[in-house]
Amino acid sequence: MDFETRAIHDGQEPDPTTGAVIVPIYQTSTYIQEEVGRHKGYDYSRSGNPTRTALETCLASLENAGFGFAFASGMAATTTLMHLVSPGDRVVSVNDVYGGTYRLFSKVYEPKGYVFDFRSTEEMSTRLGEALDERTRLVWVESPTNPLLNVVDIRAAAEAAHSVGAICVVDNTFATPYLQRPLDLGADVVIHSTTKYLGGHSDVVGGFAATNDPTIADRLAFLQKSLGGIPGPFDSWLVLRGLKTLSVRMREHCANARRIAEFLEAHPAVERVRYPGLVSHPAHDLAAAQMDDFGGMMSFEVAGSQQDALEVLRSTSVWQLGESLGGVESLIEHPGLMTHASTAESPFPVPDNLIRLSVGIESADDLIADLEQALTRVAEPSRSG
């Protein structure tokens, strides 16, 4: 079946008791057993819950995965995956990674003896083999990256990881399975912050991991129940509801983003636009090859200072200042001071005139008009000076 059909129906049979067309919120912690060990497949909601199962089945299907696991947040998914490796093991990660992931790796796991090596997207795509050795157990990819919208060649990274017996994990939060399916490109595990496009309405925090490898799946099932970073039934239900409209929302996000990227690229107050859909993007061809469209995220450098960037943030009204992304409403933020403040001390801080946009599905004309008036205000002093 096609993606749109699976998003609405997979894992979501009408309720056998009532015929309810929507999966109920099974707000229960435990399940009555007929006798010891004899039950209907559920014994305790940390191990499994029917609402969560529906989400896991549906989202695994969208990622073309045999096994899916939902978590309380994207970071809970990442933390659980990090339990696939041990202190002393080496993890090679793309350096332009979500700030919270960098913080988890460098401030939580590195002090415990895990070894991290951060490489550029270009190195990850073209010569990752040089960075890998027999101690490397995990290759961590994000593509497109947050916040610089760099693109990693997922197939090449997975092949390099496999050549030393490491597993390749891809954070697919920006693209979503509607635009990119990393397991089809050779990755072993795909993860998400479902907080973003999958939930889609900025009303839930959640995470997800999926794989086709039965050994990894067994371990993740064990880790999910042992570590306990699971989402509650209502949060699972909200993400499941979000999935139903993922394809229509993503088409709008992509169409709006394309227009906004073109507008920004032509604007004199903008130094550089980072959007994989633009022909000027250094990895445009790679993005076109491994993605079906280019998504709703972009960032740009204002032609000016950090103060100019902050002035833009102060001047918009349809674009609301806020962290997070992937909701129907457009958000604007300053990665250096907000989402990626934790990379300030790293060898790869983000530019201080960088603005990140999460393009929503409002009218593109309204979004462009709002950016236009905000950019004109900052452009004027520097043009006259």
Ligand X SMILES: Cc1ncc(COP(=O)(O)O)c(C=O)c1O
Q: List active site positions.
A: 46, 98, 171, 196
Min. distance of Cβ 73 from ligand X in angstroms? 3
Return the number of the residue (190 or 374) whose C-beta is nearest ligand X. Answer: 190
Let me know: does 71 contact 209? Beta carbons within 8 Å: yes
Return the number of the residue (72 or 261) whose C-beta is nearest ligand X. Answer: 72
- Binding range to ligand X, per CB under 6 A, among 55-63, 94-102, 239-247, 370-378: 94-102
Q: Which of 136, 193, 211, 236 binds ligand X (CB under 6 A)?
A: 193
> What does each C-alpha distance from 50 to 57, 191, 237 come to in angstroms?
10, 21, 10
**Is 256 a residue that touches ligand X (CB under 6 A)?**
no
SS (H, E, C) 111-173: HHCCEEEEECHHHHHHCHHHHCCCCEEEEEEECCCCCCCCCCCHHHHHHHHHHCCCEEEEECC
> Cα(281)–Cα(275) distance, rounded to whole angstroms?
6
User: Which pair of structure tokens corresponds to residue 265?
Assistant: 């690229």
Rg (CA), the chain: 21
Helices (H) and strands (E) in the chain, counts: 13, 12
Return the number of the residue (146 or 330) whose C-beta is nearest ligand X. Answer: 146
**Is 98 a residue that touches ligand X (CB under 6 A)?**
yes
> Cα(61)–Cα(67) distance, rounded to whole angstroms?
8
58-71 core/surface letters (b: 16 or more CB in 10 A; e: else): bbbbbbbbebbbbb
**Is 95 a residue that touches ligand X (CB under 6 A)?**
no
- How far separated are the first and last CA of the chain, in Å rounded? 59
Q: Tell me which residue has its CB nearest to ligand X.
A: 74
**Is 102 a residue that touches ligand X (CB under 6 A)?**
no
**Is 207 a residue that touches ligand X (CB under 6 A)?**
yes
> What does each C-alpha distance from 123 to 130, 141, 247 come to in angstroms?
9, 12, 32
Min. distance of Cβ 95 from ligand X in angstroms? 14
Q: Which of 56, 63, 142, 333 binds ligand X (CB under 6 A)?
A: 142
Return the number of the residue (142 or 153) whose C-beta is nearest ligand X. Answer: 142
**Is 197 a residue that touches ligand X (CB under 6 A)?**
no
Question: In which residue are the tokens 């960037």 written?
Answer: 309
Q: Which of 68, 74, 229, 232 binds ligand X (CB under 6 A)?
A: 74
Min. distance of Cβ 5 from ligand X in angstroms? 27
Return the number of the residue (79 or 267) whose C-beta is nearest ligand X. Answer: 79
**Is 171 a residue that touches ligand X (CB under 6 A)?**
yes
**Is 96 a residue that touches ligand X (CB under 6 A)?**
no
Instruction: Name the residues that contact ligand X, by CB under 6 A.
Output: 73-75, 98, 100-101, 142, 146, 171, 173, 193, 195, 205, 207
